[in-house]
A and B are shown apart, each in its own frame.
Chain A
Amino acid sequence: MNAPADPVLDIRNLTKKFGAFTALDNLTLSLRRGQILGFIGPNGAGKTTTIKILVGAMRPTSGTATIAGADCVRDARRIKRLVGFMPDSFGAYDNMRVREYLDFFGAAFGIPRGARAKRIDEVLETTGSGWMQDRYVEALSHGMKQRIGVARTLLHDPEMLILDEPANGLDPQARIEMRDLLLKLAGLGKTLIVTSHILPELSRICDVVAIITQGKLRAFGTLDQIMRDLRQKRTFEVQLCGPAQVETAAAAVREALEPGEREGVKAHATESLVRFDTARSDTELAAILAALVGRRIDVSQFREIPKDLEDAFLSVTRREAPAA
């Protein structure tokens, strides 16, 4: 994907090392105003590290990052005004009610008292959490805390919101609500960066997705683009009439495939089917089917399994994983 004309976020060759360990390796990406970026990768991939650099809590070893023209290292103060940041931990204070909690952070951003009270009402309204304003923050459930966390990031009306794992640990219903909330925020004109270690969780609402593993950017673009890149390797199922011939069929498929693809062949006796992954063309697949039929195996169906997001994600992350 080409760099957008007017990038609000511009990350260039960002690298972060902890001693000899490279947590972030030469990351380059950019984002247009008003877009939602899904920053996706397994645990330990370097998502939080990237975010901490963006909000000025960490120094990169090399490379640069700018948000709306402000450098994340040099213009720390401007970055704080531009960005609303929700870390992966909530940060509760004892004996503090939700309203007092928001009031404190509003005051910390220097919002005058009158405007602050109005602003708190607005962000509680936006996040649909007005009814919990008198609750104590430490007594909130996880889902409620996440909403208050988002409300807090909105207080100073930042241009960009950076949310670290906002849907982590939420139940399916709360996850849907969080997705709706994120869409609502994008509707307000905010640029959003949202991380997740689960691809399907958020990717559907994202304009662009960046997949990162072991500190390296593996895929970046719209969801469609990424899926197209990943679709090279397809999954097929051979449905048999009964369980008796499953092993023979699996052996025949293995014989027809390249050695590298042979372990991927799975025989499922209970379901009477054989499943395999391959990068072969359609004509080669026809030959496999012919070989099966030639051995008098009763094939009832030969079908391609449409890949879903999760498989795509796993195939990207596995492809680059070390052989350990």
Chain B
Amino acid sequence: MIPVLSREFLGILRSPRALAALLAAAVAFSLLVLARWPAGGIVDLSGAGSRGAFLVFAAALLGGVLLLVPAFPASSIVRERNQGTLLLLFNSPISAVGIYAGKFLGVLAFAGLVLCTTLPAAAAVYAMGGVDPWQQIGLLYAVIVVMATLSIAIGLLVSTRATSPDAAVRVTYGLVFAVAFLTLAPHALTRGTTGLSATIAEWLRRLSPLPVVMHLVGQGGAVGGGLLEKDAGVWQFIVGGLGLAAVLAVATILQLDHRLFDRSRDAGTITDDQSLWVRIVRRLVFLVDPQRRKAGIPVFLNPIMVKEFRTRRFGRFHWLLRLAAGCAVVSLLMTLAATNGTMDWGVETIGGLLVILQIGLVVLLTPSLAAGLIASERERGGWPLLQSTTLSGWRIASGKLASVAWTMLLVLAATLPGYLVMTTIKPTMWNQVMLALVSVLLAVAMTLALSAAIGAFHSRTAAATVTVYVVLMILYLGPLIIWAFRGDPFGEQVVRGALSITPLGAALSVIGMPGFTQYELIPIAWRIAGTICVASLIVYALQVWRLLRPE
């Protein structure tokens, strides 16, 4: 176990990105405290100022753990398996439990190191007064460590099941964010009701660290429309989180055996060679059968774009159709729910939820498709082959972007029926819907360009995916968090500035989502998104050109 642990830990520490993350954490937390330090050294005895500082500190700590930790366990096992070193470990006297414990503690040690760099900031928050060292700061750290533990357990489980590091990274981030945020959704929907579903929702809510952290910083009930109210159950979260992590750990260890290496290769069965019945059934199930023999790429299409569609599992047409169908159903259901009055939400709230659904899809799907556009070629050895063809850099760059753009447009188009129903109910909203849709399209363009540009600077898909997700989460979630604390501690100006960084705020405000209506964001947010988009595209094009040039 010890050799696995030290190799894992040192391996992380040696990667320049982890070191950069560590330094960034240290610097960010020092700046945070400096910025919040009472002017003139006068300590505010009421403690209001320091509570604000503690709030920002806690949010940064939680955000840091959610963004930073999952990347490391997610790629840990699958990368070693693909490189062949996992097989070597299996043939050593170290048991499966030992391998697991080594990897687990290695990542945890790194997380601990990052947390240590935040201790001076914690001490400074305490020195400002008004914050209890054990009941608040101590418990906050406990909650953060539990969340880190849970993230690592999720990451390692995903890593044993995944076939590629970048897929593992995507799924892990998805699950960690689901635990942190989606667990709150059922509670929000069943609030005020009783019965089995309400009880289950209440239990699910206990898994999210969000209400707990809010409670600890003394903001419970102040934000989120009462979503994070009353007794937050700090201990329930700690026990529940550790329990879940233990269950996941056992599930992972049970999988760490020969089966990891004993997977048969796909024999390449093709539908065209199968019986008529199989062909008919597959036609009905898939509509666009991925295992049908394909016709050649038509000359008028960019071959790079077609190749991108064909090589990704998720982007293949039968998946797209399923996703699109799912989106259409969800968006229609949401609108219908509003019209039937089963929920006393106004049309505006539904519109806001539609916008959040769309932009959520954009932020989650775009990086998974765009971050690896260039990195995967470099990682898998495709780049020198592309270099040796007569394709121009322009066609390579644009074909890759187009493959993602069309995918996203298709998915978004599927959410349009919801808007259509909305505008039939309330025709006066036509203008607002148009402005919101333009904002969403800008969000697609900006997210795509930014993901492609950042991803192009990596030679590993997993690393590219992590970096892009971290940047996008900060860009899109950061402003929403600042908005959630509007009034205290963030002033109107700050909130408005933060919301204009992405087109999300603009879309929400034009559609009339409660809480966003007072912000006038349209020209400025569009301008910012356009600038980011154009700048990213230029950077992306330059990087492709640089990579294609002879060394």
Contact = CB atoms under 8 A, between A and B. Distances in A.
A100 B298 contact: no
B550 A94 contact: no
A96 interface: yes
Contact of B297 (A81, A107, A134, A139): A107
Contacts of A135: 266-268
A63 interface: no
B477 interface: no
Interface string B360-391: 00000000000000000000111111111111
Most central of A103, A104, A113 by chain B CB within 10 Å: A104
Given A80-B389, A107-B299, A93 B380 contact: yes
Contact of B268 (A106, A112, A139): A139
A93 B298 contact: no
A140 B489 CA distance: 59
B53 to A, nearest CB: 48
Interface stretch (B308-316, B413-421, B441-449, B509-517): B308-316
Contact of A103 (B296, B304, B380): B296
A269 to B, nearest CB: 38
Central interface residue in A52, A73, A94, A136, by most chain B CB within 10 Å: A94
A57 B268 contact: no
Contacts of B383: 91
A95 B389 contact: no
A105 B293 contact: no
Contacts of A73: 550
Contacts of A56: 387, 550
B550 A136 contact: no
Given A91-B381, A93-B380, A57 B307 contact: no
A113 B303 contact: no
B14 interface: no
Nearest to A162: B388
Interface stretch (A82-90, A205-213, A223-231, A279-287): A82-90
Main secondary structure of the interface of B (DSSP, over half): loop
Interface string B425-465: 00000000000000000000000000000000000000000
Contacts of A104: 297, 303, 306-307, 310
B538 to A, nearest CB: 24
Nearest to A60: B550
A134 B390 CA distance: 26
Nearest to B302: A107
A170 interface: no
Nearest to A72: B550
Contacts of B296: 103, 106-107, 113, 116-117
Given A80-B390, A81-B390, A113-B299, A95 B294 contact: no
A116 B306 CA distance: 16
Interface in B296-339: 296-299, 303-304, 306-307, 310-313, 316
A58 interface: yes
B231 interface: no
A95 B381 contact: no
Nearest to B304: A108
Interface string B241-278: 00000000000000000000000011111100100000
Contacts of A254: none
Contacts of B344: none
Interface string B336-357: 0000000000000000000000
A160 B159 CA distance: 44
Contacts of B273: 134
Given A58-B551, A135-B268, A107 B306 contact: yes
Nearest to A89: B381
Contact of A94 (B293, B312, B384, B391): B312
A55 interface: yes
Given A57-B550, A91-B384, A139 B266 contact: yes
Interface in A66-87: 73, 76-77, 80-81, 83, 85, 87
Contacts of B266: 135-136, 139
Given A109-B389, A109-B390, A90 B381 contact: yes
Nearest to B390: A80
Find the residue from B265, B311, B382 having the highest chain A CB count within 10 A: B311
A260 to B, nearest CB: 42
Contacts of A139: 265-266, 268
A59 interface: yes
Contacts of A58: 550-551
Contact of A134 (B265, B270, B295, B311): B270
A108 B389 contact: yes
A108 B290 CA distance: 22
A92 interface: yes
B550 A59 contact: yes
A59 B307 contact: no
A170 B390 CA distance: 30
A275 interface: no
Interface in A106-124: 106-110, 112-113, 116-117
A57 B387 CA distance: 7
A83 B269 CA distance: 34
A216 interface: no
A56 B316 CA distance: 34
Contacts of B307: 93, 96, 104
A105 B268 contact: no
B222 to A, nearest CB: 48
A113 B551 contact: no
Contacts of A91: 380-385
A239 to B, nearest CB: 45
Contacts of B298: 113
B380 A77 contact: no
A197 interface: no
A94 B313 contact: yes
A266 interface: no
9 closest A-B pairs by CB: A89-B381, A107-B303, A91-B381, A139-B265, A135-B268, A108-B389, A107-B297, A113-B296, A93-B311
30 contacts: A57-B387, A57-B388, A59-B551, A77-B390, A80-B388, A83-B388, A85-B388, A87-B381, A87-B385, A89-B384, A92-B381, A95-B316, A96-B307, A103-B296, A103-B297, A104-B303, A104-B306, A104-B307, A105-B389, A106-B296, A107-B297, A107-B303, A107-B306, A108-B303, A108-B304, A109-B389, A110-B299, A110-B390, A113-B297, A117-B296
Interface of B: 164, 265-270, 273, 290, 293-299, 303-304, 306-307, 310-313, 316, 380-391, 550-551
